[in-house]
Structure 1
């Protein structure tokens, strides 16, 4: 398949965002030691970034919809590059908290604008696949960059992690300048007008499918290390390879989800994928003690975690056709809420001394709720409702 170089700026940007978001998780002990804080306090840096994503997405999109997408993406990556660069030299915990929050601000807005740009660059019937092309950078980050950067951070210094992300930011700026075409800006669209999408029941149903249904997979991913080492009996030294396996699943699932969405329509694809999530998480709960099955499920769950991205984003854009960028930015906020909700609810069984396969059982319940909302959505707004 011929690569559309117009999509490279979005993919490279996704690579940088994925690297900065996920690599920090494996470097928390190193960061805590340098900044003289506890590991839980270092974990607050992840929360600060996520808070920046949730707050920055609607605000930056709201004030940028009247500008050409190329210019908006360029400015967003400047912000991203600047504050990741400052993260490399932040001298203490307080300053690091601030710059991590600010580094998170352009995250959701980048994918919000990028989602709309991808659909405008795609030929008819290929919109979801082009969205998945944008997310290849994010999935490749989990497959290769996160293990690489984690290794560099351990062996040399964790600050090199932010230096590498900053370099990716500069590459993204060059790619935007060279390869992203000039697309016309959207007419009209005041900030408050853009927020009117939140009055729509259809919009909220998509957000709930994402936050609850997709959140089910984060009950698994948040506790994957103790699950694999304590339940599946994988040696700790092999966990890096387990994460690469999950990243490979994400890479394959991302492209597969885009293909299925274009072929069968996003609503039906979403229902199929959430059903698959529920079954896969049930299998994790039942069979995680078998090492081989646990490894197979690691790839499967990784694939499903990204396969839903393209169809659910298309559903959101269809739900808010006059405010596509704002809608896509809220999706990024919903994904981060799903992350937090999955980790929190999945941790409840652990408080009562249950095994690390029990978070996945919580995930089964969450995906079931998401599935029921998705079925209702299909009935109200899918092809059946139009006939």
Structure 2
């Protein structure tokens, strides 16, 4: 059975179901990224160094990469609504464990366990979103769910950082768990049964990894999004050291970045409904140009801010067609394909950050980091040009 065979839901229930998926995505996105704004506070409270506290971010990313696919396989025979209920439930318990963690190591373990549900959640949630959408609007539904992560960066992370600084970092995880609980209740009440079919046999799903085009789609995600984090991981020191912005302006620029990401997702969802491949060629091509322009003009504050906005539009906008492209390539197992693609996103995040950090460590300079980001995205375009049209 394909997504086209899934019965469509009445408009109101469809909208409510998509809304609770966005809320769950918002909670998961906030939990993933808020630690970056709270590292000094958490390091001081847990009596560890900043690099050790940074492992709370790295450990989460590794949990997504390594834990998502096996968990998706284990839940492969469950209906997607039941899967979502289970995964969001684990997410809620995991964040409660983070809030109550007595020491650094227990917090790190709780973060890693919580991260394992990340990829599997999005694999199932995006399959459900495609099933809820009207025919020909699947890309927009996928982009809408992704907007929950974008909203987490625009609002969840800044507000969580302020809450953690005002009260305590543990309170942030408590609030995230509360939001997750609301989303969990919403999934139980609003997501219709049968909106997406139960998964096929586990080995049947896993066999999609023998498909060259599935592997190509995952590689396109790694390189297509890896370029974004090659640069954006170090955007704060670039803005202050090269562009001449005062530190207090970094927050507003990052908020503007989130606005750009939201605009990009709205545009990309519409484009992906027509052709995910064509949308990616346009967005990734524009992203390469934006990276190179940023490399040339980062010393001018206004140009640098404009560059951040454009890179966010094209880079984060590409996430929806990247996900659609991967799910189309893995049409026989869209849930597992979507989960593996979430691992590919996080592998790109980690690899891009390592590449940018390595260049900085070698003294190459921030301009070369932006050029490297363009080259990474260009690899994705080359891979995409060899993919069949769909």
Query: What TM-score, normalized to structure 2?
Result: 0.94
Matched, 1:339 2:349: yes
Deviations 1:103-149 (A, max 9, x none): 10110011000111011111111010000111111111111111111
Cα contact 1:257–1:306 (8 A) shared by 2: no
Matched, 1:353 2:363: yes
- Aligned-partner SS, 1:189: coil
1:19-30 paired onto structure 2 within 5 Å: 19-30=30-41
- Give how far 1:185 is off: 5.9
Matched, 1:305 2:312: no
Deviations 1:188-244 (A, max 9, x none): 623222111111110111111111122011111100100111111111012111111
Q: Which moved more, 1:138-147 or 1:151-160?
A: 151-160
- Aligned-partner SS, 1:354: coil
Write the distance in 2 (CA, Å) between the matches of 1:234 and 1:371: 33
Write the distance in 1 (CA, Å) between the matches of 2:164 and 2:297: 34
Deviations 1:327-386 (A, max 9, x none): 000000000000001001112221122332321111011111111111111xxx105xxx
Q: Which moved more, 1:186-195 or 1:140-149?
A: 186-195
1:1-387 paired onto structure 2 within 5 Å: 4-183=15-194, 186=197, 189-263=200-274, 265-377=275-387, 381-383=388-390
- Aligned-partner SS, 2:215: helix
Q: 1:247 to 1:184 in 2, by over 3 A?
A: closer
- Aligned-partner SS, 1:66: coil
- Give how far 1:32 is off: 0.6
Cα contact 1:6–1:179 (8 A) shared by 2: yes
Write the distance in 1 (CA, Å) between the matches of 2:156 and 2:315: 18
Write the distance in 1 (CA, Å) between the matches of 2:80 and 2:195: 7
- Aligned-partner SS, 2:155: helix
Deviations 1:314-337 (A, max 9, x none): 211221111110000000000000
Listed as ranges, the gaps of 5+ residues in structure 2 are 1-10
Cα contact 1:139–1:251 (8 A) shared by 2: yes
Deviations 1:130-176 (A, max 9, x none): 00111111111111111111111112211111111111111111211
- Give how far 1:65 is off: 2.2
Cα contact 1:226–1:356 (8 A) shared by 2: no
- Aligned-partner SS, 2:110: helix
Q: Which moved more, 1:122-131 or 1:247-256?
A: 247-256
CA RMSD of aligned residues (A): 1.5
Q: 1:285 to 1:13 in 2, by over 3 A?
A: same
Cα contact 1:128–1:259 (8 A) shared by 2: yes
- Give how far 1:89 is off: 1.2
Cα contact 1:69–1:113 (8 A) shared by 2: yes
Write the distance in 2 (CA, Å) between the matches of 1:97 and 1:116: 30
- Give how far 1:54 is off: 1.4
- Give how far 1:184 is off: 5.8
- Give how far 1:187 is off: 5.5
Write the distance in 2 (CA, Å) between the matches of 1:98 and 1:86: 9
- Give how far 1:277 is off: 1.0
- Aligned-partner SS, 1:275: helix
Write the distance in 2 (CA, Å) between the matches of 1:348 and 1:268: 33
Write the distance in 2 (CA, Å) between the matches of 1:165 and 1:187: 29
